[in-house]
Amino acid sequence: MAKVVPVATSIVDVQTDRGVIELRSPRELNDPPKVFTFDAVYDPRCNKIISPTSRKKE
């Protein structure tokens, strides 16, 4: 009996140079992506941990 392995594809495209995240429908591949624009976006492979910058006031 052959084992069926599902294939995963990403539906998210991050364009760090433009500050854009595009989402594609996994069911309708011919549909245009939904586009979201931000001041800055991080690559999905980013692994930098950002430490808190504010201090607790006493």
Whole-model pTM: value is 0.65
Q: Backbone phi, then psi, for 30, in 5-degree steps?
A: -85, -10
Cα distance between residue 22 and residue 24, in whole Å: 7
- Measure the N-to-C terminal CA separation of the chain; round to a whole number of Å: 67
Cβ contact 11:44 at 8 Å: no
Segment 21-57, tens digit of pLDDT: 999 998 888 899 999 999 989 888 887 766 666 555 5
Take residue 33 and report the two structure tokens written for it: 């992506």
